[in-house]
Amino acid sequence: MSSISLAVTGAAGNIAYALLPRLGELLQDTETTLSLRLLEVESRMHALEGVVMELEDCAFPFIDEIIYTSNAEEAFFDVDYALLIGAMPRVQGMQRSDLLKANAGVFKEQGTALNKVADRNCQVLVVGNPCNTNAYLTMRFAPDLAKKNFFAMSMLDQNRAYAQLASILDISINQIDNLCVWGNHSDTMFADYFNALLDGQPLIEQFRKKEVLLREKYLPTVASRGSEVIKMRGSSSAASAANAALDSMIMLIDKNPDYGMFSIAICSSGEYGAKPGSIVSYPCQFDASGSLSVVSGLTHNDFAQGKLDASFAEIAQEIAQVESLLTTL
């Protein structure tokens, strides 16, 4: 009988509400149980208590215990995985620098707490935006944990890319492989159709004549999908974000090379020209020993390389901005 302990922050928020009842999907067998730690800000503890009541009412046999708290050290104590969803939202009239600063405070505190009390092999996936920079901050303030264990989520962008590519080219999602997202989780990210496969063959070779459509429709549609959902729903993606967070967590827990190439933002060693030490979305894959690395040997034409460079530069610039804000915290 094994047990996984998982902390989820922002646990009374919209994404968590869609995610928590699906946590059973993370478990490989019926023997594994889950110790759940839910973190919220003090003012949302009442709402969180309601969420906990609902989880209890699901009578999930795999849930060992649920600890809910507004104390980061209590939530992160000895955890194997931390899913950092909670973040300061951008409110109307707020400058991006104010958002970065507010979140710098949150992720500095959470990185510090993880450093102090989490399991030394804890894996941390950041969803709360701006997720690449927030993951960078968490890692920066958790120097005793390995840098390779910090991630930001780009799976939602990947899932959006699969769905849009299939729809625009009138093919099935099942026919596509190796479609990955590079760079920042922002509208500069690049959903690389050049390295994608269709039925195991380079997709672009079969759709050369549609390249204008791919550049002018597919790429902007994927990049602006989050804003479009906000326009229609009145709030940001929650069900699809929860779904992508579960997809990412399954990868991190299973470490299965058979899943092939998938998108996740990891601490860069400078692969493909990104700033070393920044958190960058790349095509990644597990090897047979369960170690995750950036897929090497992919090639980019000038157009694609330009997209990558722009997104890598944006990440580096956000890091520089947040580093200067840290001195004022």
Which residue lies nearer to ligand NAX by CB, 122 or 203? 122
Q: Is residue 139 a contact residue for ligand NAX (CB under 6 A)? A: no
Chosen residue from 99, 106, 189, 264 binding ligand NAX by CB under 6 A: 106
Chosen residue from 37, 140, 160, 185 binding ligand NAX by CB under 6 A: 185
Chosen residue from 163, 238, 239, 316 binding ligand NAX by CB under 6 A: 238
Instruction: Check 37, 160, 185, 307 and give the catalytic one.
Output: 185
Which residue lies nearer to ligand NAX by CB, 181 or 198? 181
Count the site residues for ligand NAX by CB under 6 A.
28
Provide the minimum distance between the beta carbon of 10 and ligand NAX in the complex, in angstroms, as a whole number: 3
Handedness of CA 294, 295, 297, 302 (dihedral sign): negative
Q: Is residue 85 a contact residue for ligand NAX (CB under 6 A)? A: yes
Which residue lies nearer to ligand NAX by CB, 130 or 169? 130
185 annotated active-site: yes
Chosen residue from 156, 165, 169, 196 binding ligand NAX by CB under 6 A: 156
Provide the minimum distance between the beta carbon of 206 and ligand NAX in the complex, in angstroms, as a whole number: 30
Q: Is residue 73 a contact residue for ligand NAX (CB under 6 A)? A: no
Distances (CA, A) of 155 to 34, 147, 250: 23, 20, 12
Which residue lies nearer to ligand NAX by CB, 16 or 169? 16
Which residue lies nearer to ligand NAX by CB, 38 or 198? 38
Q: Is residue 241 a contact residue for ligand NAX (CB under 6 A)? A: yes
Where on the chain is the footprint of ligand NAX (CB under 6 A)?
A: 9-10, 12-16, 39-41, 44, 85-89, 106, 127-129, 131, 153, 156, 185, 236-238, 241
Active site residues: 185
